[in-house]
Amino acid sequence: MRLEKPGELAELLFRNDPKWQPEEINAALSTGKTQRVQLQPQDQVSVYLLYWTAFASANGTMNFRGDPYGWDKTLAAKIERRSAITAVAAR
């Protein structure tokens, strides 16, 4: 996953961890290497990832993007299956 501001997110997540203050975070980021660091139990957060290839802008204009992971086709198939099941059940 790519982050626009990884340092700011790390500072927020590690605000209560004396081992990970801004200087240590910046030093870790400057290495360019992936590091796995466990959050303190009280600092754990839920992360929700949204994958949108179609969305409306503030003025209502529809925008469409490519689907590099091919998830739109899978989702469309699931929607079609559920619609067919619903239609049969409604008869």
Question: What are 26-57's pLDDT values in tens digits?
Answer: 999 999 999 898 888 888 888 888 888 999 99
pLDDT above 90: residue 60: yes
- Measured on CA atoms in the order 23, 39, 30, 5, is the torsion positive or negative? negative
Measured in whole angstroms, the distance separating CA 89 from the mean position of its chain's CA atoms is 35
Q: In the numeric block, which tokens belong to residue 75? A: 């989702």
Mean pLDDT of 62-78: 93
Helix (H, G, I), strand (E, B), or coil: what is residue 64?
strand
Kindly report whether the global pTM for this prediction surpasses the value 0.85: no
- Residue 1 to residue 53: CA distance in whole angstroms: 17
Taking the C-alpha atoms of residue 6 and residue 26, their distance in angstroms, rounded to an integer, is 10
- Confidence band, pLDDT 50/70/90 cuts, at residue 91: confident
Give residue 50's pLDDT.
85
pLDDT band, residue 87 (cuts 50/70/90): confident
